[in-house]
Amino acid sequence: MSTTLYPPLNLRIITPKLELHGATDELLAQLLPIVRKGVVAGPLDPFDDPMSLYEDNPVRERKWLQAIWRGRGTVSPGSWRLYFVVMLDGQAVGMQDLIGVDFDTCRTVASFSWLAPGIRRQGLGREMRAAILHLAFEGLGAAEAASEAFFDNPASNRVSGSMGYQPNGSNWATRRGEPAVLNRWRLGRGDWAQNRRSDIELIGVEACKAVLYIK
């Protein structure tokens, strides 16, 4: 897809540790070897159903790409999804998504992310979340960010807690058809502002607002 016709592909978020680039097909192609090998490491499944990353190869790659392409074209005032490729030292190493949830009325967002197994436990998950929250609150005017993680996913829950999210109850979901408890988190704009960073740069935001129906 042309970056001229779809401005979110030109979005960039730059932090001292990494960059998030709008997920062009060229960047998605760089991630294919990671997706092909598999991003789920360890016995605990981190994603709720349905999830293409659980599929067998090459179905996994095809469904993963199709979901992103479908998400680009499914945009309304209340619901949209922005896809970013995580770039570390010029290499594509994962994805970070920002999801508008009733954004036209509630200004709420959620997030989703994954990293290549070999580079986890280096603080990159927290840096990715900080970057996407900066886009949400500073760039797009969000009022609240939500997050969910299975009760036995300590890394994701730890990121939310360390960034000022407050517990917001729990819910049931399935992963590979089996029920499990999801911890829910919420971060209000005021709580985010208390720890707002000044070292994150946003590029290309204004051109995206009309596409996302944001005034």
Domains, the chain, ranges and CATH? 7-209 (3.40.630.30)
Q: Which amino acid makes up residue 83?
A: Y
The CA distance from 32 to 38, in Å, is 10
Output the pLDDT for position 3.
Answer: 67
The CA distance from 214 to 75, in Å, is 12
Output the pLDDT for position 4.
Answer: 73
Tens digits of residue pLDDT in 32-43 = 999 999 998 777
> Would you place residue 51 in the very low, low, confident or very high pLDDT band (cuts 50, 70, 90)?
very high
Structure tokens at 207: 């051109």
Structure tokens at 152: 């036995």
Q: How far is CA 178 from CA 38, 48, 175, in A?
A: 20, 10, 5
Q: How far is CA 73 from CA 39, 47, 146, 211, in A?
A: 25, 23, 23, 11
Tens digits of residue pLDDT in 164-196 = 999 999 999 999 999 999 999 999 999 999 999
The yes-or-no verdict on residue 147 having pLDDT over 70 is yes
Longest dimension (CA), the chain: 45
The yes-or-no verdict on residue 1 having pLDDT over 80 is no
